[in-house]
Structure 1
Amino acid sequence: MISFIRQKYTPYGGAERYLERLTKVLKEKDIDFEIIHANFPNWLPSWIKALLFNRQICSKKNKKFYFSLDRIACPDIYRAGDGVHKEFLKTKGISLNPLHLTYLYLEKKAFLNAKKIIANSNMIKDQILKNYNVPPEKIVVIYNGIEIKEFDKIESRVLLSKEFGIDKDIKIILYAGSGFKRKGVVEFLQTLALLESDFHAFVLGKEKNISKYKKMAKDLGIDAKVTFTGPRKDIDYFYAASDIFLFPTHYEPFSNVVLEAMSFENVTFTTAQNGASEILPKEFILKKPKDFSVAKKIDLFLKDEEKLNKTQKKMREISKNFTIEKNVQKTLEVIYELV
């Protein structure tokens, strides 16, 4: 039996969606597994939860085979889906939050003690090697995989126009991701303000300070063109209706939203700080979150219907190389090597 380790479950988390896809295929293959979560009281600080979870998990390991999606000291396989915290902190700046020290402690243990490490991009593999004394052969790069779905772009656009009262023929630009500061909503809005073409934008995701971003949209003079929806479970409906997906994140190991947007025929842009940029042609990669030259590129697509349609089809074709089936097969090869 494989024990999948994930301390906290959130229905909108990338790791949880990855785990959902992976275990769905494992069920089809009749492979036994369990998922171990924690159930700590909300009043406990996050850093204490992380340490307690690590202690509980490692004390009960015995002969269990641990495939961990969290930083723990005793994984057999550690999937570094959350990236390298030491690198992430370089984008965040100084912080006295003890959670960061806890993550650094557990991260080091996880990388050094795991028999195998799965990195979801070459960017993350390089960052592990740069920061920790890990043999390169211990790290396997397996890109994320998604389910390639069929969809009706016209029908989705009509439904979206009815729900939000927008023109069904207007071009739609989409952002999706929780944690707006790290994932580039400021830069997303600043880019929109530079566009000459008409558009409507949707910002999907969970954010405590959403009023701050709504005010920014108003200050930039684009509030009538931007809808903040909060988190949505029906995200496919937005992907299908949209034309452009812009994700100017500051740090992302490999964001599934990029791959998902591509699969729904969105012309997709993201930063070089996102491991998912490795699957994109160079012209769709921003050098940094504030690479506002992307505005001119987006305008070109919004003004040229033929160019837009052709590139949308190209994006979907690229995404077909990264299915969940391929991801699971490569993941199982790593598991079988150890069990």
Structure 2
Amino acid sequence: MNDLIVAIKNRTNLTVRLEKKFSVVYYKKPSLFSKLLFKEIKYPDIYFHKGSLSSQAVFLIEKSSLIIVSSYAIKKEIILKLPDLEASKIYVLYPYCIVKMDYDKSIKKEFKNRFHIPKSSKILFFRAKDLARSGLDVLFDILSRMYQDKFTLIIESSSKQITPLKLQMERSEFKFEYLLLEDYENIDELFIASDIFILPTQQKYFATDILKAMYFRNAVFLMESNHASEIVDTFSLIQSAEDRSVSFKVDSLLINQDELKKIQKENEKIAKNYTLEKSVEKISKIILNLFDI
């Protein structure tokens, strides 16, 4: 079996799975010593591109046979940067969702009991490592414009992020209930317990929490500029920080339970197309078609 040379910043669950199917060798940048000895340089068969288009990234894109990116937005960015590059070399493979537990209504019920959340109260959820950069102020603007207030807002982050937020929330005049959680161990449980996940982040790279929220039957709202917007419908998109329609949409879902359930089930169906197993299957077919291994 011929080697499959893979260039990637760090090994992932996906590449570990590929190691079991193919003779994977990870690409290493040639040393100056090897260049002086005129050793044969083998370039990557596959480059998993992530992040900005640095000079090293451009080099790997130009030298690799196949480039894997996580969105069509990134593919377009590469084509604009490198117009002479063959576009067919770039394949879009959306991120995959890894979960540690299955959806179960009893988990939602037990969570509400533990935190004294009324059975009839819907849960809106927001989490991020950096709350400010992920749109906390935009979230509060959305909630402040809503008519409905019979819901519970859960915000999860590190203690460093949550501690100052506690003071801010205590001074606020919000009428809805809220729960602030620090370094919560079982994130899957929070997604199962929640009904609507809102992430108005200004960051453009694919927010994988959107996938997990959808997998666990949440309606979702996220910025159109985020690459995860490619897998959701237009109803779920936040056009800008000033998009007043989002408050109306969230209100309507809290009022119309049937519509909320419909969207939740549709999102679950979409998210189940983006599992690790399906990603391995997709990339394996491409490898077998392109390379003599």
Indicate the TM-score class for this superposition, using the shorter chain for normalisation: 0.7 to 0.9
| Number of equivalences | 279
* Shift, 1:113, TM fit: 3.5
Separation in 2, partners of 1:63, 1:182 = 45
1:135 corresponds to? 86
The residue correspondences of 1:147-162 to structure 2 (distance < 5 A) are 150-153=102-105, 155-162=106-113
Separation in 2, partners of 1:294, 1:179 = 22
Unaligned segments of structure 1, at least 5 residues: 8-15, 37-56, 66-73, 87-103
1:291 corresponds, among 237, 243, 249, to 243
Question: Does 2:77 align with 1:77?
Answer: no
* Shift, 1:228, TM fit: 3.1
> What is the SS of the residue equivalent to 1:123?
helix
1:99 corresponds to? none
Separation in 2, partners of 1:35, 1:181 = 37
Question: Does 2:214 align with 1:262?
Answer: yes
Separation in 2, partners of 1:278, 1:236 = 23
CA contact (8 A) 2:222 2:237 kept: yes
Distance 1:81 1:5, change over 3 A: closer
Question: Does 2:125 align with 1:178?
Answer: no
* Shift, 1:170, TM fit: 1.4
Question: Does 2:196 align with 1:196?
Answer: no
1:42-84 alpha-carbon deviations (Å, 9 max, x no partner): xxxxxxxxxxxxxxx424798998xxxxxxxx754332343xx
> What is the SS of the residue equivalent to 1:169?
coil
* Shift, 1:110, TM fit: 3.7
Question: Does 2:251 align with 1:277?
Answer: no
Q: Higher Cα Rg: structure 1 or 2?
A: 2
2:202 corresponds to? 250
CA contact (8 A) 1:263 1:315 kept: yes
* Shift, 1:223, TM fit: 9.1
Unaligned segments of structure 2, at least 5 residues: none
CA contact (8 A) 1:143 1:322 kept: yes
Distance 1:210 1:308, change over 3 A: same
Separation in 2, partners of 1:205, 1:64 = 45
The residue correspondences of 1:1-339 to structure 2 (distance < 5 A) are 5-6=8-9, 19-20=12-13, 22-23=14-15, 25-26=17-18, 30-31=21-22, 57-59=28-30, 76-82=45-51, 85=52, 104-133=54-83, 134-146=85-97, 150-153=102-105, 155-197=106-148, 198-206=150-158, 208-222=160-174, 225-336=177-288, 337-338=290-291
Separation in 1, partners of 2:256, 2:132 = 32
| Counterpart code for 2:251 | D
CA contact (8 A) 1:190 1:220 kept: no
| Counterpart code for 1:160 | F
CA contact (8 A) 1:249 1:289 kept: no
Distance 1:5 1:158, change over 3 A: same
* Shift, 1:137, TM fit: 2.1
Separation in 2, partners of 1:34, 1:224 = 54
| Counterpart code for 2:48 | R
Task: Tell which deviates more after alignment, 259-268 or 157-166.
Answer: 157-166
Separation in 1, partners of 2:188, 2:154 = 13
| Counterpart code for 2:210 | V
> What is the SS of the residue equivalent to 2:179?
strand
1:172-197 alpha-carbon deviations (Å, 9 max, x no partner): 01123323233222212322232322
CA contact (8 A) 2:95 2:274 kept: yes
1:247-289 alpha-carbon deviations (Å, 9 max, x no partner): 1121233222111111111111111112221121111111124
Alpha-carbon RMSD across the aligned residues, in angstroms, is 3.3
CA contact (8 A) 1:4 1:33 kept: no
